Amino acid sequence: MNYVSTRGAGADEHHSFSDILLGGLARDGGLYLPAEYPQISTEELARWRGLSYADLAFEILSKFAGDIPAEDLRDITRRTYTGETYRNVRHGEDASKITPLTTLGVENGTTLSLLELSNGPTLAFKDMAMQLLGNLFEYALAKAGQELNILGATSGDTGSAAEYAMRGKKGVRVFMLSPHKKMSAFQTAQMFSLQDPNIFNLAVEGVFDDCQDIVKAVSNDHAFKAQQKIGTVNSINWARVVAQVVYYFAGYFAATKSNDERVSFTVPSGNFGNVCAGHIARMMGLPIEKLVVATNENDVLDEFFRTGIYRVRGSAETYHTTSPSMDISKASNFERFVYDLLGRDPARVTQLFRDVEEKGGFDLVASGDFVRVKQFGFVSGRSSHDDRIATIRDIYSRYKTMIDTHTADGVKVAREHLQPGVPMIVLETAQPVKFGETIREALDREPERPAAFEGLEALPQRFEVVPADAQRVKDYIAAHTAH
């Protein structure tokens, strides 16, 4: 399998999965994609139906990572997707299912269900990919005799998923910046209670944007970056996207009895990483009818899928909402879909994303490209705070199921796209306990808390407060990577 950049640089070079695993953007600023999508035969699909999650992950990963020896990849996927890591804390069912499907009920002549993706250690779907990434990184670094220092900024979900994936991993350190005293008590405790010596929590005296600016400043210091072996784990990482392809297959098998059936997925979306994996599953031949993109008030993607106009937002137009992990101003993985939509034309992709930088967006209606969006199954919708509250209430009273705010955005939009006879699977992206304040507003009661998280906020915390100053962060990193 060869990988290419959406902007075309190095088209005559060969890039393997391992080559791009530890990196971020391609050097031309594009994103990596496989040179072609592997096609799944009907025999394979029939055989995969009976596999465990870990073995399904192995089959799918081996289509994309042929340069990793099969026995090594088998070991990595089996160690990652175990019931020990993905405790099915809510239903006490067989934990080895990893991503159980919960049927809510029948609406408009079809079943509406939730695919549980938040049974991992940080109770959000980012664990699904990040746990695999931790094991892949450790494996690749040991093989190359290298070390990696991950630098990131977080306002919640990504940072904790990265820390729980990398804790205790050989050759990796994590330096995670978060805005001091700005995260919820639960999220703060999740991150700061980690005592592993390779995890460094830096509480920055500032807001999330200050944290991001520091990461950018450090990354732009190329000498420092090379010397300290600085890397990232952001959502454009290809291995994260491909790890997510697996649960679209698992969800399909759980919702159907035969491979002649089709299903639709609704995906609470921010950076387009999750739904991009659905697009790839569909391109591989998984019988997906519709991919429904659900956004919150930050509706960049909904606007595109309704109108054909992609318009990124400035900071004044980016809202802090009660589904905060979807609060984005532009969707960093969207370029991967645009590349496919335009028939894989890197020159046009380069021009369009130059227009994003210079003019704030682009319009695919006039060029005639937008009509083809339908062929890719995409539709969309938007949800607001009031919708979220009403949906959490409705699902709780109707089906006795408590859902989080992001999943509520998904359910709200899914209901606008139900088709009789086509099961609708909403991807459940977090557990309600992470967003307790909104649950209390909606239901006037405390969110359900998995037993393992009792008393979390009382555990001793380990973190360092630093000023919003890139040089101070660099000094801290240098002092903690010296041998």
Ligand X SMILES: *Cc1c(COP(=O)(O)O)cnc(C)c1O
Piece of 22-30, 262-270, 354-362, 370-378 that binds ligand X (CB under 6 A): 262-270
Rounded CA-CA distance 163/175 in Å is 9
**Span interacting with ligand X, options 270-278, 338-346, 453-461, 464-472, rule CB under 6 A:** 270-278
Mapping DSSP to helix (H, G, I), strand (E, B) and coil, where does residue 363 land?
strand
Nearer to ligand X, 100 or 268 (CB): 268
Half-sphere exposure of 293 (CA within 13 A, CB side): 30
Q: 111, 113, 154, 269: which one contacts ligand X (CB under 6 A)?
A: 269
Pick between residue 130 and residue 150 the one whose CB is nearest to ligand X. Answer: 130
Q: Which residue in the shown chain puts its C-beta closest to ligand X?
A: 273
Select from 6, 201, 274, 383 the one that contacts ligand X (CB under 6 A).
Answer: 274
Which residue from 100, 134, 251, 273 is in contact with ligand X, where contact means CB under 6 A? 273
CB of 126 to ligand X, least distance (A): 5
Number of Cβ atoms within 10 Å of the Cβ of 167: 17
Instruction: Find all residues with CB under 8 Å of 58, minimum gap 6, and list them.
Output: 73, 74, 77, 78
Q: Which is nearer to ligand X, 324 or 346 (CB)?
A: 324
Is 429 one of the binding residues for ligand X (CB under 6 A)?
yes
Residue 295 found at the interface with ligand X (CB under 6 A): no
Q: Which is nearer to ligand X, 22 or 293 (CB)?
A: 293
Closest separation between CB of residue 349 and ligand X, Å?
A: 20
CA distance 57 to 250: 9
What span, in angstroms and rounded, lies between the C-alpha atoms of 323 and 312? 19
Amino acid identity at 78: R
Between 211 and 250, how does the x/- string for binding to ligand X read (CB under 6 A)? ------------------------x---------------
Number of residues lying near ligand X (CB under 6 A): 16
165 binds ligand X (CB under 6 A): no
Residue in the structure block whose two tokens are 């005639």: 368
**Inter-CA distances, 436 with 117, 163, 189, 228, 276, Å:** 19, 22, 14, 39, 29
Q: At what angle do helices 385-399 and 405-414 cross, to 10 degrees?
A: 80
What's the chain's Rg over C-alpha atoms? 21
Residue 270 interacts with ligand X (CB under 6 A)?
Answer: yes
306-335 positions binding ligand X, by CB under 6 A: 325-326
Does residue 406 bind ligand X (CB under 6 A)?
Answer: yes
Grouping H, G, I as helix, E, B as strand and the rest as coil, residue 418 is: coil
Contact pick of 138, 157, 297, 340 for ligand X (by CB under 6 A): 157
Task: Output the smallest distance, CB 270 to ligand X, in A.
Answer: 3
Q: What is the DSSP string of 82-132?
A: -TTTS--TTT-S-GGGSS-EEEEEEETTEEEEEEE---STTSBTHHHHHHH
- Does the active-site annotation cover 434? no
Identity of residue 217:
A
Minimum gap (Å) between residue 447 Cβ and ligand X: 14
**CB nearer to ligand X: pick between 7 and 126:** 126
| Piece of 268-276, 337-345, 371-379, 385-393 that binds ligand X (CB under 6 A) | 268-276
Instruction: Tell me: does residue 435 bind ligand X (CB under 6 A).
Output: no
Q: Please state the closest distance from residue 413 (CB atom) to ligand X, in A.
A: 13
Pick the piece of the chain touching ligand X (CB under 6 A) from 264-272, 367-375, 418-426, 471-479: 264-272
| Interface of this chain with ligand X, residues 122 to 141, rule: CB under 6 A | 124, 126
| Cα–Cα distance for residue pair 470/332, rounded to 1 Å | 24
Strands 101-107 and 110-116: antiparallel
- Is 272 among the residues that bind ligand X (CB under 6 A)? yes
As a whole number of angstroms, the distance between CA 351 and CA 346 comes to 9
Catalytic residue of the set 126, 169, 290, 330: 126
Q: Is 41 buried (19+), middle (13-18) or exposed (0-12) by CB count in 10 A? A: exposed
Closest CA to 63 of 73, 50, 53, 51: 73
Q: Does residue 268 interact with ligand X by CB under 6 A?
A: yes
41 to 60: interface string for ligand X, x by CB under 6 A: --------------------
Answer whether 171's CB lies under 8 Å from 146's CB: yes
Kindly list the residues in this chain that would bind ligand X in the complex (CB under 6 A): 124, 126, 157, 235, 268-274, 325-326, 406, 429-430
Where in the sequence numbering do the catalytic residues fall? 126
